[in-house]
Amino acid sequence: MAGSQSDARLSDVRFLTVAEVATVMRVSKMTVYRLVHSGELTAVRVGRSFRVPEHAVHEYLRGAFQETA
């Protein structure tokens, strides 16, 4: 049963492409790639591309906003 609960949560996760993340954050795709490669932004590698969980983008922005406040 524990496996089915984690599968249900995983299906709730919305993954964004690097281009979509760049649009949301209003930065270039290269900036998103730098954040992913540095480990500042969580991402999953799918083949040769990356997918970023939407919640990771929100967490990153929330953390960046709090640092400036």
In the DSSP assignment, the letter for residue 28 is -
pTM over 0.95? The answer is no
- As a whole number, mean pLDDT of residues 14-28 equals 97
What is residue 27's predicted lDDT score, i.e. its pLDDT?
A: 97
Residue tagged 């540095």 (tokens): 38
Q: Please report the domains of the chain, with CATH numbers, ordered by start residue.
A: 12-68 (1.10.1660)
Q: CA 33 → CA 1, 59, 61, distances in Å?
A: 37, 17, 16
For 28-50, write each residue's pLDDT tens digit: 999 999 999 999 999 999 999 99
Whether residue 2 has pLDDT greater than 70? no
Residue found under tokens 């996760």:
13
- Arithmetic mean of pLDDT over the chain: 89
Q: How many CB atoms lie within 10 A of CB 57?
A: 20
